[in-house]
Amino acid sequence: MNIRSLFNRLFPHACLLCGASAGTRPLCHGCQADLPWHIAPQCPQCALPTPGGQVCGACLKRPPAFDRTRAALAYAFPLDRVIPRLKYQGRLAIAPALGACLVEVVASSPRPDRLIAMPLHAQRIRERGFNHATEIARVVATQLGLPLDTASCQRIRDTPPQMGLRHDERRRNVRGAFACSGDVRGQRIALIDDVMTTGTSLDELAKTLKQAGAAVVETWVVARTLPPGDIA
Ligand SMILES: [Zn+2]
Ligand SMILES: [Zn+2]
């Protein structure tokens, strides 16, 4: 028994959402089951719901640089409360719960060579003290036994928040925002992030990695923003 499982046995978690005993997991079984799992037939490339799971019109018209998206949950209640608490209030205990949800859906995916978390600009890391995407990626890396590469990608431009921007403005906002300094030639990479909204940041990061020689880039996100009406 390792130290962590001993600790969990001695001090069982209280469920992050309801406070009930959750054993060794961050969420109790009831809360875990009630989450808005993103199981609708969806575009394999961007995870938007589509009839029969075909590639969506947007991806056909302008294919993103990433090859595939796995999204665990719809960005709806309670994620819209919990994720901001992790990001802006530094509630780091939330990251294992989000990471565990992501593991549920990606465990059966082909294994990438490495994981890369969506980088934050150094200034933001100084302000917050952590990168929430890295905290989530750490959980996935540990549970799936995959290497987490925290050195190869940097956010070199401190872009204003994407929130409230139109799609074309978002695209302009992130252009040239990332740099790749590591050797990623021929690598199969899974990018980890908390939420995919339009996917423009992940697209730009994937483009940067492909230009540096990455062979396959998937995006693994905890939650996907869905059009109204598509949330179960
Ligand atoms: Zn609960
Ligand atoms: Zn699509």
Select from 49, 48, 194 the least CA-distant residue to 132: 194
Alpha carbons 198 and 93: distance in angstroms, whole number:
27
Ligand closest to the CA atom of residue 30 = 1
Alpha carbons 110 and 107: distance in angstroms, whole number:
8
pLDDT of residue 82: 95
pLDDT of residue 166: 80
Q: How remote is the CA of residue 208 from the centroid of ligand 2, in Å?
A: 20
CATH code, 37-224: 3.40.50
Using alpha carbons, list the distances in angstroms from residue 80 to 74, 77, 84, 138, 145: 10, 5, 7, 21, 29
Contact between 208 and 176 (Cβ < 8 Å): no
Structure tokens at 130: 């952590």
Positions in the chain short of pLDDT 70: 1-11, 230-232
Select from 44, 67, 55 the least CA-distant residue to 216: 67
> The tokens 């996100």 sit on which residue?
221
pLDDT of residue 4: 60
Q: How remote is the CA of residue 28 from the centroid of ligand 1, in Å?
A: 4
Q: How remote is the CA of residue 68 from the centroid of ligand 2, in Å?
A: 9
Bridge partners, residue 153, by sequence: 180
Using alpha carbons, list the distances in angstroms from residue 127 to 69, 88, 116: 30, 10, 21
pLDDT of residue 25: 85
Break the chain into its structural domains and give their ranges: 1-34, 37-224
